[in-house]
Amino acid sequence: MEAGLSWTDDRVALLRRLWEDGQSASKIAAQLGGVTRNAVIGKVHRLGLAGRARGGEDGQADAPASKVVEIETAIAVVETQAPEPVAILAHRPAPEFPAPAPSPEPVALQVSQRVTIMDLRESMCRWPLGDPTTPEFRFCGARSITGLPYCTHHAEIAYQPATERKRDRRVASFR
């Protein structure tokens, strides 16, 4: 709907008249101007206007009164026989996850093991330590595992099995 147009009393009265005449929501929207078919349908529902079997202007005959009564009766029967919704989740016990394993205590690295990029060699751990924008930035420098860029301690942090990562995420999401 455009910013300047709103549901004034005159527009609502016109909507009611056109709806009761059997106009389609699309045609009503075109006649009102500045509203969509969905806006018309929404307003009809908010106003509580009665639904119709068919539009009367297209030359289509309305459903015979007996058919309308049968349909309304069938709807009423279905509504009265519908079971009450059941909250299935309310009956399930909360999932129990094993307590997370205590985190290993951080290992303090010797100051002599911390190396700059210029001192870093093939067999040294490349785990970054500190802020790369500061002059104190260093790499671990401990002996790396053959074929990996990290020492044993940092490899345990970097390479976690997928099942443990997923379990850690699930436990964290329930907190």
Residue 37 and residue 30: Cα distance in Å, rounded? Answer: 8
- Residues 59 and 118 placed together within one structural domain of the fold: no
- Residues 68 and 116 placed together within one structural domain of the fold: no
- DSSP H or E segment with residue 135: none
Token pair, residue 44, equals: 């009809």
- Residues 71 and 117 placed together within one structural domain of the fold: no
| Residue ending a domain, choose from 79, 102, 120 | 79
Number of folded domains that form the chain: 2
Going from the C-alpha of 26 to that of each of 7, 12, 42, the distances in angstroms are: 17, 15, 12
Residue 62 lies in a domain: yes
Looking at residue 50, its pLDDT comes to 78
Composition of the chain by helix, strand, coil, percent to 5: 40, 5, 55
Residuewise pLDDT in 10s, the chain (175 residues): 445 578 899 999 999 999 988 889 999 999 998 899 999 999 999 998 877 655 444 444 555 556 666 666 666 655 555 566 655 555 556 667 777 777 667 666 444 578 888 888 888 999 998 899 999 899 998 888 888 998 988 888 888 877 766 666 666 665 5
Residue 75 lies in a domain: yes
Range of the domain at 25: 9-79
Residue 89 lies in a domain: no
Residue 172 and residue 151: Cα distance in Å, rounded? Answer: 28
Residue 84 lies in a domain: no
Token pair, residue 70, equals: 């049968």
Enumerate the H helices of 25-64 as residue ranges.
25-32, 37-47
